[in-house]
Structure 1
Amino acid sequence: MRSHLLNDRTAEHYRRSVTDGVERVAARLAATGQPFTGTTVDALAPRVDGIDLDRPLHDTAAALDELEEVYLRDAVYFHHPRYLAHLNCPVVVPAVLAEAVLSAVNSSLDTWDQSTGGTLIERRLVDWTAARIGLGPAADGVFTSGGTQSNLQALLLAREEAKTDAPEKLRILVSEAGHFSVRKAAKLLGLGPGAVIPVPVERDRRMQAVALARELERCRRDGHVPMAVVATAGTTDFGSIDPLPEIAELCDRYGVWLHADAAYGCGLLVSPTRRGLLAGIERADSVTVDYHKSFFQPVSCSALLVRDAATLRHATYHADYLNPRRAVAERIPNQVDKSLQTTRRFDALKLWMTLRVMGADAIGGLFDEVCGLAREGWRLLAGDPRFEVVAEPALSTLVFRHVPAAVTDPAVIDRANLYAREALFASGDAVVAGTTVGGRHHLKFTLLNPETTTADLSAVLDLIAGHAEQYLGESLDRAC
């Protein structure tokens, strides 16, 4: 029905519908007392499956009522201070406003004739970010869907720059704590299963520069071609930042592309107090940033930056109907010339509005707050005999586990921690993440909400300990 097409004749219908939706979400946010309701797949799936999509409701209010039942009521709300699980941030209001604008206008950022000012805004933000990194006057980049896509494109560029006739000899070196998307990218690029070489890490989960030098030398000796070293500036579990200056020196020495995966740590680019933690990132050939992690932007909002704009040619293809070659000579700025994607949302607008309303220092200040909270949380855990914490935080994550005094069997302790996490999620009182360290199950706080307090952390630790002790007590009763 044409009455639902957004145009000049339906502007008032659009205003009423969006206002109704915004009011529903605002009411839900205001009434949310815990991050999750504790619903299960078995409880929720029948409600979703029972909806007949071939029988529309023909009423926006009714559709929103239904949405309350199947989504809004049981969503996991990242804005709640006891959501402590994954790298999901609460989002800032200017970015949400931008999301509404960009969705309604629906610009596509592949070509100039689909976006006009949107292209210029994205390019300006690419230049701004590259300058914050320190990549130099020849830098360029493009917005992406996230760190996985950025890492894939960076490694594509590195592979092409390696200029080898023996792709089976190509190697990528990344720390043991690096992101899994590096292995995924290697597979998508047609590299063999042994193409990714894991480099050992120190106790603080930073790449060992000495081990990297050893692996680079081994590649040379064995006739392999190291096409890229991936240095991580903020690992997912520990927030650890690899020794960027030392890695850059080795890459220079061996003539290897250096990619810095700063998907998590990019918030340091605007930090008033912690920018020095990224010293050396300016020497990278390419950098991944995820604004939707530590810049408090809605998903998706990410970018790949490169030191040399010319390297982006490896992602360039021309189509007569879209970006013909003559457009380059005519200096028409088509972003599809740099991107793995064709149709692409105007996600850059979210960052633009955030910078124009809040400013970079305000964003960095929020990230500083959560990094400071992680330090307080580490002291809390280190002083609590019920827990052991693995490493001091570099950014805003804490990996730890409950260690009952009366139990020594590591497998039993593993099960108690796993049970505690699942029971906590089922209760809806808080959400924490899990991971493994040395083959043993651990829990993880990922702190990205400045509204979270040490009192929240302490309360969640009490809940975890209570669930773990309940499991151990029931296990003992069963054994008797």
Structure 2
Amino acid sequence: MSTPPPPARPARLASGPDGPHALRPLLDTVLDALDSGRRARGGPLPAGGPDAVAARIRDVVGDVLPEHGDPDALRDLVHALAEGAADPADPLCAAHLHCPPLATATAADLAVSALNPSLDSWDQAPAASELEALVTRTLAHETGLADSVVTTGGTESNQLALLLARESHGGGVRLVCGVNAHHSLPRAAWLLGLPEPVIVPAPSGTLDPAALHSALTDLGGSRGSVVVAATAGTTDAGLIDPLPEIAGLCAAHGARLHIDAAHGGGLLFSERHRDKLTGLEAAHTVTLDLHKLGWQPVAAGLLAVRHPRDLTVLHQRADYLNADDDTEAGLPDLLGRSLRTTRRPDVLKIAVTLKTLGRSGLGALVDQVCARAREFADLIHDHPRFELHDRPTISTVLFRPAGATDDTVAAVRRTLLTEGRAVLGRARLDDRLWLKATLLNPDTRTEDLATLLKLVEGSTPR
């Protein structure tokens, strides 16, 4: 007869010989609390708005640092977090590029937390360092580039891309991007002390090649010190800039090309949709973000590079981490693989997902959410009380009640949020405010889409 595991004690370690015994009862507690919190919430997000949610959290937490510990803290706080969560696995939670994570990826993340490797030196993460090297090269090759590094997401990747451009071309390198570009790009230029970016019009929601040509011509004296940032999957509408045309203009003007594919990069897994990313391989750097169209727990970003030598500017030396004699003896030097020092191996959950689902499995998920978006667009188009902005490029659908003012559109969204019934985003295009549904849940059904539309209709004043 097997010996039952000892009862959980909060100060026991998660790894080591007793780690599994320590974790099992705690995992039961967490899973039960997640379920009870979800049932208490009863919808895609908590009802009552910010004040009500804050009051419930304050009531549960009480004294943040009590004199004596509370053995029920894990259960109570996980329940409270789940009850007060906006759940991306609920089909009526469709506001942002905030995906429901895969169970296999989440389980892999548990292993990372238990083992707690740190990818700042090989002797802290022997296996993880090799796993990261294998996966980052593979994903870079998917984009048509040579290598990639792991980041915390699109914002860090975009900042790193501009840093590499600055170090290659000097501190006067000029960012040129569309008005549709992610806010992190001009922000990164500011953080890096670069000149004021040149913002190019995007009248149809995508960067205008004629306007880009004009801007690059005006910057002709800066040849070799311009970086153009294109977008493959805009935040507002999921649109993709004309990448081949932009790549051709960059080549003609001697400009460096960065493509922010944080949103759309997952299309690479789909045979049906990957052609939308034609031109990606012409970039010097590409941002990928698998906690969007890759169903990974946050964080799972990457920056792919055409020339691995560009990454040498990240190299740092710290004798306690990468002493010269250790490196010469064959111990891998990890400090040049990130702007961060201590960092967890987020690559494990990505590796497990790639290996478990394969290209066809991930591609099927991409195809499902894109198909649901097209279906939702059809429902809106055929409904007399709604206006559709345009057919979706990826899985984002913009719509609004027909004849509504911008104030009404904003109020409808807030009403649904406050009542805890649906989570929709907002986007301003064509000088009008639109409701935004970003469909990233592959389990969303046709009836869920109809329910979402009915909720919006019911919250719109006649």
TM-score, shorter chain, exceeding 0.5: yes
| Bigger Cα displacement from structure 2, 261-270 vs 251-260 | 251-260
User: Aligned AA for 2:134?
Assistant: R
2:3 is aligned to none
Q: Unaligned stretches of 5+ in structure 1?
A: 408-412, 474-480
Cα distance in 2 between the residues matched to 1:110 and 1:417:
48
Flag the 1:151–1:78 CA change in 2: closer, same or farther, 3 A. Answer: same
Q: 1:52-81: per-residue Cα shift (whole Å, max 9, x none)?
A: 122166354x11342156322121111011
* Contact map agreement 1:227 1:257 (CA 8 A) in 2: yes
SS of residue paired to 1:252: helix
1:450 is displaced (CA, Å) by: 1.3
The one-letter code sitting in structure 1 at the alignment partner of 2:30 is G
Structure 2: distance between partners of 1:10 and 1:237: 44
Query: For 2:297 and 2:18, how far apart are their aligned partners in 1?
Result: 30
Pairing partner for 2:189 from 183, 186, 190: 186
One-letter amino acid matched to 1:186: A
Answer whether contact 1:259 1:287 (CA < 8 A) is retained.
yes
Pair 1:57–1:416, CA change in 2 (3 A):
farther
Displacement after TM superposition at 1:122 (Å):
0.9
Is 1:460 paired with 2:436? no
Correspondence list, 1:73-472, <5 A: 73-135=83-145, 139-163=146-170, 167=171, 169-192=172-195, 195-203=196-204, 205-220=205-220, 226-404=225-403, 413-469=405-461
Contact 2:179 2:200 in 1 (8 A): yes
Cα separation, partners in 2 of 1:18 and 1:292, compared to 1, 3 Å = same
Deviation at 1:26, TM superposition (A): 4.4
- The C-alpha deviation readout for 1:414-437, integer Å capped at 9, x for no partner, is 111111101111121211001222
Quote the Cα distance in structure 2 between the aligned partners of 1:383 and 1:44. Answer: 37
1:111/1:334 contact within 8 Å kept: yes
Aligned to 1:371, the other structure's residue is in SS state: helix
Match status 1:20 vs 2:29: yes
Given that 2:37 and 2:80 are in contact with CA atoms closer than 8 Å, whether structure 1 keeps it comes out as: no
1:402/1:468 contact within 8 Å kept: yes
The alpha-carbon distance between structure 1 residues 391 and 339, as it changes in their structure 2 partners (threshold 3 A), is same
After superposition, the C-alpha distances for 1:431-471 in whole angstroms (9 at most, x for unaligned) are 100122244322101110112233322222222122121xx
1:228 and 1:257 in contact (8 A); partners too: yes
Distance 1:26 1:33 in 2: 11
Using the TM superposition, give the Cα deviation of residue 140 of structure 1 relative to its aligned residue in structure 2, in angstroms: 1.7
Indicate how the Cα distance of structure 1 residues 52 and 392 shifts in structure 2: closer, same or farther if over 3 A, else same.
Answer: same
Question: Deviation string for 1:351-408 (max 9, x for gaps)?
Answer: 111122221211121011111111122222222232222222110101121123xx7x
Structure 2 Cα separation of the partners of residues 47 and 33 of structure 1 = 15
1:44 to 47, 53, 62: 53
Whether the 8 Å contact between 1:390 and 1:400 is mirrored in structure 2 is yes
8 Å contact kept, 2:38–2:82 = no
Conserved? CA contact 1:285–1:307, under 8 Å: yes
| 1:111 Cα offset (Å) | 1.6
Letter in 2 for 1:206: T
* Identity value in percent: 38
Structure 2 distance, partners of 1:372, 1:121, is 33
Q: Aligned to 1:321, what secondary structure does the other structure show? A: helix
1:461 partner amino acid: L
Give the conservation status (yes or no) of the 8 Å contact 2:34–2:78.
no
How far does residue 278 in structure 1 lie from its aligned partner after superposition?
0.7
Q: Deviation per CA, 1:124-159, whole angstroms, max 9, x where unpaired?
A: 111111121122xxx222111010000000110011
Q: What secondary structure does 1:441 align onto?
A: strand
Q: Distance in 2 between matches of 1:66 and 1:56?
A: 18
The whole-number CA distance in structure 2 between the counterparts of 1:158 and 1:440 is 35
Structure 2 distance, partners of 1:176, 1:284, is: 20
* Partner-residue secondary structure (3-state), 2:322: coil
Q: Distance in 2 between matches of 1:451 and 1:86?
A: 17
SS at match of 1:182: helix
Would the alpha carbon gap of residues 184 and 145 (structure 1) be closer, same or farther in structure 2, given more than 3 Å must change? same
- Secondary structure (helix, strand or coil) at the match of 2:303 reads strand
**Gap change, CA 1:226 and 1:200, over 3 Å in 2:** farther
**Residues 1:8 and 2:17 are matched in the alignment:** yes
Q: 1:334 to 1:18 in 2, by over 3 A?
A: farther
Change in 2 beyond 3 A, CA 1:36/1:47: closer
Q: What letter is aligned with 1:214?
A: S
Q: Which moved more, 1:211-220 or 1:34-43?
A: 34-43
**Residues 10 and 229 (structure 1), Cα distance of their counterparts in 2 relative to 1, 3 Å cut:** closer
Q: Alpha carbons of 1:268 and 1:2: their partners in 2 closer, same or farther (altered >3 Å)?
A: closer
Mark the CA change 1:68 to 1:350 in structure 2 (over 3 Å): closer, same or farther.
closer
Find the aligned partners of 2:102 and 2:40 in 1 and give their Cα distance: 19
Q: Which amino acid aligns with 1:55?
A: P
Are 1:57 and 1:63, in contact at CA under 8 Å, matched by a contact in 2?
Answer: no
SS at match of 1:292: coil
SS in 2 for 1:359: helix
Distance 2:377 2:295 in 1: 23
Count of aligned positions = 451
Cα distance in 1 between the residues matched to 2:281 and 2:238: 19
* Displacement after TM superposition at 1:285 (Å): 0.7
- Farther off after superposition, 71-80 or 435-444: 435-444
- The AA in structure 2 aligned to 1:337 is G
Q: Shift in Å at residue 27 of structure 1?
A: 5.1
Mark the CA change 1:457 to 1:3 in structure 2 (over 3 Å): closer, same or farther: closer
For normalisation by structure 1, the TM-score amounts to 0.89
